[in-house]
Amino acid sequence: MSEQVPDAEVVREKTLSEGTPGNDAAVEELQECACPDTYPDWDGKTLDLGGSCIHEMKIASFFHMPVAYDMYVSKQAANIHHLGLVEKWPRFVLTKTGMWGGKIICLVEDSSSPSRLVNFIPGSFWVKAQMHHGGIGSIHKVVHKMQIAMIEEGCMPKEFYLAHLTCSFCVERKGGEDKILIVRRFVPNKRIQERLRKEAEKNAAKESKLAVEQAGKQPAEV
């Protein structure tokens, strides 16, 4: 039997009137803005999210463009409230899209909820995060740079997730600049990393030898 997800609008009204312990800040602006006021300090960091408790919901997308995105985010917030879960960073949502569908992920405090939407990320889940200061139209440049950097470090880039931190409702209040946190999963390739390490050691030895030879050619001081 499939789980029945409560109607977002019904739970939205109940949320606004009753509130949820630990999520009061998220409730205040639920009708106006779905962007987070707080979010993790992941910019420029490498993290292993394996073992994290998440609330995961499928969404519709068309050629990587989400369809009715705000509706799905509101529906997820309503379901999280309905299940009595506590978000680690209220309204902080990781979004992955594909050609014909995608998913949104919200990190929550560890829970034993029997809901099929609540899971723990199995095994290792290595990611690199980068803050993009700008709109979605220019994000491809940052994604490309991240991919090149991963390959140079001997890592295999996988899917990426976007966390929209501002919108038209709150961008002025938050400094007037669009912000999107890019989270890219990767898988370390030990064979490539070992090859890169040996190449780096070989190049360092050549540079050291060259420096010694150049020092020996310098004329002696009188």
The ranges of the chain with pLDDT < 70 are: 1-32, 218-222
| Start-to-end Cα distance in the chain | 93
Residue 220 has what pLDDT? 55
Q: Is residue 151 part of a domain?
A: yes
Q: Is residue 202 part of a domain?
A: no
Cα separation of 170 and 120, whole Å? 31
Residue 13 has what pLDDT? 47
Q: 74: which 2 tokens?
A: 């509101």
Place of tokens 């090859």: 195
Residue 147 has what pLDDT? 93
Q: Is residue 198 part of a domain?
A: no
Domain that residue 157 falls in: 8-191
> SS3 sequence, the chain?
CCCCCCCHHHHHHHHHHHCCCCCHHHHHCCCCCCCCCCCCCCCCCEEECCCCEEEEEEEEEECCEEECHHHHHHHHHHHHHHHCCCECCCCCEEEEECCCCEEEEEEECCCCCCCCCEEECCCCCEEEEEEEECCHHHHHHHHHHHHHHHHHCCEEEEEEEEEECCCCCCCCCCCCCCEEEEEEEEEECHHHHHHHHHHHHHHHHHHHHHHHHHHHHCCCCC
Q: Is residue 150 part of a domain?
A: yes
Q: Is residue 100 part of a domain?
A: yes
Question: Which distant-in-sequence residues (6+ apart) come within 8 Å of 166 by Cβ?
Answer: 35, 174, 177, 178, 179
Q: Is residue 204 part of a domain?
A: no
Residue 17 has what pLDDT? 46
User: Structural domain tally of the chain?
Assistant: 1
Q: Is residue 48 part of a domain?
A: yes
Q: Is residue 24 part of a domain?
A: yes
CATH of the domain at 28: 3.20.80
- What Cα–Cα distance (Å) separates residue 136 from each residue in 25, 66, 91? 27, 12, 19
Average pLDDT of the chain is 84
pLDDT tens digits along 21-57: 445 544 444 446 788 999 999 999 999 999 999 999 9
Q: 72: which 2 tokens?
A: 């799905």
